[in-house]
Every structure is written in C-alpha cells, then in structure tokens.
C-alpha cells in the first residue's frame, strides 16, 4: 500500500464501494457464462431463433450501447438492450451505425412481461455465476461497526446489485445502494456522487472514502467532488467491464491490491464523532 495525499483514517465517517471488480470480480468467462445462461433461457422460452444468433446480436447491441451512452455519461439500459435484441431476432432490421434505434418501434416486437422475465433471468444468472471477493463480507461487517457504508456503482440493472446484496448477506451492513441506472448518470459524473452523499446523510466530502478499481470513474470522479479515494489495483485481467488507464489527473489517497487491506487500516480506528453543527 502506498499513500497519496495524507489521510487520517479516524476522520472517515462513510465508505462507498464500487461493485464490479471491487466487491465482485467480473472476468470475461464469468460474464460470458451469465449471458449464455440467459441466452439459452431466452431461446427456449421466446424462440424460435438460434442461440448463436442471440449471442451475436447481444454482443453487437452491447457494443452499440457503450458507444452511444458512455461518452454522454449515461448508463447502458439492459431493458432497452433486451428490447433491441428481441426485435432483431424477430425480424426488425437494426439502424445503421450512425443512427440511433427507434425504441418505440422496437418495443412492438416484444411484450413487457417478456422483458421483465428476461431481466429476472439475467439477474439470477449473475448471482449464480459470479461469486464475491471472499474478503467483501467480513470487511463490510467489520467496517459497519463505526461507519456508514454504501455501494456506489455504474451498473445497467440496479435490481441485480440489490438481489446480490441480499443473497450475499450484506444488506445489514449498508446504508445505501446507489446505482447509475437509477440515478441517470454514471461515474465520474458528479451527480451520482452527490446522490450517494445525500443518501449517506450528507457528511462532509472529505470524510467520505470511495473504494474502486477504475481510474476515471472512481479515482478521478471521487477526487473531483472532494472525497478521499482508495484505488484497488488488481482485478481480472480479462474483465470485459469498461475501464480506463491511469493518468496524472488525480492522486489516490491509498493504493491497495485488494480490499482486504482496508480492514486493519480502517476498522482498528474509530470513526470521528459527528460534527455537532
């Protein structure tokens, strides 16, 4: 562990954690297994169309969403992706690369209950296929004794994170779960950090420590709103989640290889008493 700007752990009243590749490792094989489980269920129930065709169209529409949404600090919408995929599988031609989808026209190729069912299958497949970092549960339990904790994540389906938290037994340790799909913007946009700060009871910015693995989203985003930052250096090398390269635009307060390193650093030091003002 190396230090950036001086950090007094006793001043930290709240800690927020990124989800993918911080609390839960997301490797390429694991995420592909989630998509394959979802695809087989979709093909069996909503076909006839081919499994390989589903995978191809899913990958194309995923890529299209990232190209369209991420530069605008918008989260990709998983429900919209299912609408587009089913529309193409059922005969609708996709728009050219330089044009956006006519989402209203695409919705005519599926029913709302089909989309809701497909989202549920995806969430269940994620829970079954991607285990958490073994250190996550014990760390959250230990830190929750003296600080408010939250998940602060870019993710296309908030319900997946909420169900994961319940299944993992983390819910009693968390004050908030703040997900880009619900907020409307992705990290590093300051709006999602502002919403997390509000849900944590509006502590002073420099008493919040954000823990994450992505340089632009987590380190730069949290630094620009005045939070403290712990940068997690290690993650699956083949992770398909969006990522950014380290640059000189911010300096993390802590650099750690894994979240397990936070346990002794923060849990051994009581949080400061609330500001009486």
Share above pLDDT 90 across residues of the chain, in percent, rounded to a whole number: 83
Share above pLDDT 70 across residues of the chain, in percent, rounded to a whole number: 94
Judge if 18 and 122 occupy the same domain. Answer: no
> Quick check: helix, strand or coil at residue 254?
strand
CA of 42: how far to CAs of 45, 84, 92, 217, in Å? 5, 14, 17, 32
Judge if 203 and 100 occupy the same domain. Answer: no
Domain containing 78: what range?
28-129
Domain boundary, last residue among 129, 157, 190: 129
CA-CA distance, 31 to 16, in Å (whole number)? 24
Q: What's the pLDDT band for 225 if we cut at 50, 70, 90? A: very high
As a whole number, mean pLDDT of residues 259-263 equals: 92
Judge if 214 and 241 occupy the same domain. Answer: yes
As a whole number, mean pLDDT of residues 164-188 equals: 97
Per the model's pLDDT, the better-predicted residue between 50 and 72 turns out to be 50
Domain assignment present for residue 256? The answer is yes
Statement: residue 4 has pLDDT above 50: no
Q: Which residues, 6 or more positions from 277, have their beta carbon under 8 angstroms from its beta carbon?
A: none
pLDDT digits (tens, 9 = 90+) for 111-131: 999 999 999 999 999 999 999
CATH number of the CATH domain containing 230: 3.40.50.1000
Q: What's the pLDDT band for 146 if we cut at 50, 70, 90? A: confident
Quick one: pLDDT at residue 130? Answer: 95
Quick one: pLDDT at residue 257? Answer: 95
Backbone torsion region of residue 196, taken as left when φ is above 0, otherwise alpha when ψ lies between -120 and 50, otherwise beta: alpha
CA-CA distance, 10 to 266, in Å (whole number)? 8
Statement: residue 206 has pLDDT above 50: yes
Q: Which of 37-51, 53-67, 252-266 has the lowest mean pLDDT?
A: 252-266
CA atoms within 13 A on the CB side of 93: 4
Per the model's pLDDT, the better-predicted residue between 48 and 270 turns out to be 48
Question: For 111, phi and psi rounded to 5 degrees?
Answer: -105, 155
Domain assignment present for residue 276? The answer is no
Judge if 94 and 167 occupy the same domain. Answer: no
Beta-bridge partner residues of 229: 210
Q: How far is CA 276 from the centre of its chain?
A: 34
Quick one: pLDDT at residue 267? Answer: 59
Domain boundary, last residue among 85, 103, 129: 129
Statement: residue 159 has pLDDT above 80: yes
Q: Beta strand pairing status for 176-179 and 254-256?
A: unpaired
Judge if 14 and 47 occupy the same domain. Answer: no
Domain boundary, last residue among 114, 129, 144: 129
Judge if 217 and 230 occupy the same domain. Answer: yes
The distance between the two most distant Cα atoms of the chain, rounded to a whole number of Å, is 64
**Whole-number mean pLDDT of the chain?**
92
CB 208 within 8 A of CB 198: no
Statement: residue 176 has pLDDT above 80: yes
CB 36 within 8 A of CB 28: no
Domain assignment present for residue 272? The answer is no
As a whole number, mean pLDDT of residues 78-94 equals: 97
Judge if 183 and 63 occupy the same domain. Answer: no
Domain assignment present for residue 277? The answer is no
Quick one: pLDDT at residue 3? Answer: 42
Q: Give the chain's domain count.
A: 2
Q: What angle do CA 78, 33, 239 make, to 5 degrees?
A: 75
Statement: residue 157 has pLDDT above 80: yes
Judge if 22 and 158 occupy the same domain. Answer: yes
Judge if 163 and 229 occupy the same domain. Answer: yes
Q: Which residues, 6 or more positions from 110, have their beta carbon under 8 angstroms from its beta carbon?
A: 82, 83, 86, 87, 90
- Report pTM: 0.89
Question: For 51, phi and psi rounded to 5 degrees?
Answer: -65, -45
Judge if 51 and 19 occupy the same domain. Answer: no
């Amino acid at each position: 562990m190396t230090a950036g700007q001086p950090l007094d752990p006793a001043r930290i009243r709240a800690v927020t954690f990124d989800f993918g590749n911080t609390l839960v490792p997301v490797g390429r094989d694991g995420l592909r297994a989630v998509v394959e489980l979802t695809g087989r269920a979709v093909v069996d129930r909503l076909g006839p169309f081919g499994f390989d065709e589903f995978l191809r169209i899913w990958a194309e529409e995923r890529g299209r969403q990232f190209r369209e949404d991420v530069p605008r600090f918008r989260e990709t919408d998983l429900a919209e992706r299912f609408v587009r995929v089913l529309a193409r599988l059922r005969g609708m031609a996709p728009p050219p690369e330089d044009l956006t989808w006519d989402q209203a026209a695409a919705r005519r190729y599926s029913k709302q209950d089909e989309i809701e069912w497909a989202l549920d299958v995806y969430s269940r497949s994620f829970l079954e296929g991607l285990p958490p970092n073994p250190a996550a549960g014990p760390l959250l339990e230990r830190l929750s004794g003296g600080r408010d904790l939250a998940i602060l994540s870019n993710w296309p389906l908030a319900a997946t994170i909420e169900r994961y938290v319940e299944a993992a037994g983390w819910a009693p340790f968390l004050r908030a779960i703040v997900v880009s799909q619900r907020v409307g913007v992705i990290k590093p946009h300051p709006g999602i950090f502002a919403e997390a700060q509000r849900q944590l009871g509006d502590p002073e910015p420099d008493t919040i420590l954000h823990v994450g693995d992505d340089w632009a989203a987590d380190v730069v985003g949290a630094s620009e709103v005045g939070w403290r930052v712990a940068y997690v250096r290690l993650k699956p090398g083949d992770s398909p989640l969006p990522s950014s390269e380290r640059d000189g635009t911010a300096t993390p307060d802590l650099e750690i290889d894994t979240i397990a390193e936070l346990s002794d650093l923060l849990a051994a030091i009581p949080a400061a008493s609330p500001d009486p003002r």
